[in-house]
Amino acid sequence: MRKIKIFDTTLRDGEQAPDYKMSKEGKIVIAKKLDEMRVDVIEAGFAGSNIKDSETIKDIAKNVKNTIVVSLSRCKESEIDVAYEAVKDAVKPGIHVFIATSDIHIKDKLHSTREEVIEIVRRCVSYAKGKCEYIEFSLEDATRTDKDYACKVIDTAIEAGANVINIPDTVGFITPIEFTEFLTYIKGHSRINEVEMSVLCHNDLGLATSNTMTAIRCGANQVECTVNGIGERAGNTALEQVVAVLKTRGDLFQAYTDIDTKKIKDISDTVIEVTGNPVQKNYPVVGLNAFRHEAGIHQDGIIKNPETYEIMNPVDYGVDVDGIVLGIHSGKSAFIRKIISMGYNPEHYDIYEVVRLSKSFFEENDSITDEEFSEILSNAQKKVLVKA
């Protein structure tokens, strides 16, 4: 079993999503909770983007006790200076430098050439290494970069002092099959095996978690993600999903994380509160319905043995929920369970009448209160025969 490091970018890429702005106080609360749940790296922001972000990163760096705290920086010496100033007071400071490497980005965004980018990487990674020990380098739009050129960039960054090489699927373009081929190629044709290989996958095609798990199978030992999968456009790989996959299917991946999974629901709720953006009800692991069941067949199985329909124990993820939800699809077992939970003896009621009356109620209503259910029970009591 090998450890997979969790690099959290909720406070940087997560906040870059429209309508996901976070206050300084909210960011500090989130950072402290990420630290407590044993995230390995916190990307606290992009110090070079504005003064407010820089000041917030400084406060985060002072409040985090155990985790590496990094700031993102473009390959510009002036921005690297600002990034280091923001994180230098952290117990474990780091700088995350990046530059685009795909031809479309080099030509149309940077108005540069492959050769010029190589020299910028060499100069700026070396410059950052002179500031602190932990240096991560990212090839922006790596998955649309020519493989041989990507290998040259990777080798240049490693020679200049990068500890971690990140391979981002910046626009969520690649598929798991292609990602396997890409990562296998660069592992066989570059020096990336000498350092930590990381990946950051975006979710534009809904493949972020699948691509991330593919990368782990291909040897990545760090994954970059966000709480609730927030981030640019369709978001990033979700922290809670990767951690849950490795906890549930560690046998397949032969890998684990140090994350305290019982804190996952709390950090999810905190991000929701700070950003003002809830997750959808059917969202994996932390969504309202992730461990709730209305269908009668499922409810019967869950009541007999939760593992019939739940591959995860909600308690393991800090989720406190009654998974049996009464509704129009519920069956006899769920209604009997409800009767018992209210302190009544189910033998005193005609269960089939309880089910019939309840389903009639749910034709017009989405949920039922205890008072409303008690009224149904009163109308479904068995008749007691009294001898003359």
Quote the CA–CA distance of 268 and 259 in Å, as a whole number.
Answer: 14
- pLDDT tens-digit map of 204-253: 999 999 999 999 999 999 999 999 999 999 999 999 999 999 999 999 99
The structure tokens 């020519």 sit at: 146
Question: Is 2-275 CATH 3.40.47.10?
Answer: no
- DSSP strand pairing (222-225 vs 5-8): parallel
The residue extents of the domains of the chain are: 2-275, 296-378
Q: What is the pTM of this model?
A: 0.94
The predicted-structure confidence for 156-179, as pLDDT tens digits, reads as follows 999 999 999 999 999 999 999 999
- pLDDT for residue 384: 58
Contact criterion met (CB below 8 Å) for 183 and 167: yes
Percent over 90 (pLDDT), the chain: 98
Which candidate, 378, 377, 289, 291, places its Cα nearest to that of 336? 377
Question: What is the helix, strand, coil percentage profile of the chain, to 5?
Answer: 50, 15, 35
Instruction: Report pLDDT for 269.
Output: 98
Q: How confident is the model at residue 322, as a pLDDT?
A: 86
Q: What is the pLDDT of residue 388?
A: 46
Distances (CA, A) of 226 to 66, 149, 179, 242, 313: 19, 29, 20, 10, 22
Write out pLDDT tens, residues 316-337: 999 998 899 999 999 999 999 9
Q: How far apart are the C-alpha atoms of 332 and 348, rounded to whole Å?
A: 15
56-65 b/e with 16+ CB inside 10 Å = b? bbbbbbebbe
When mean pLDDT is compared over 112-116, 364-368, 384-388, the highest value belongs to 112-116
Which pLDDT score, from 0 to 100, does residue 382 have? 86
Two tokens, residue 99: 């530059």
pLDDT of 385 reads 47
The residue among 25 and 321 whose pLDDT is bigger is: 25
Mean pLDDT of 89-94: 98
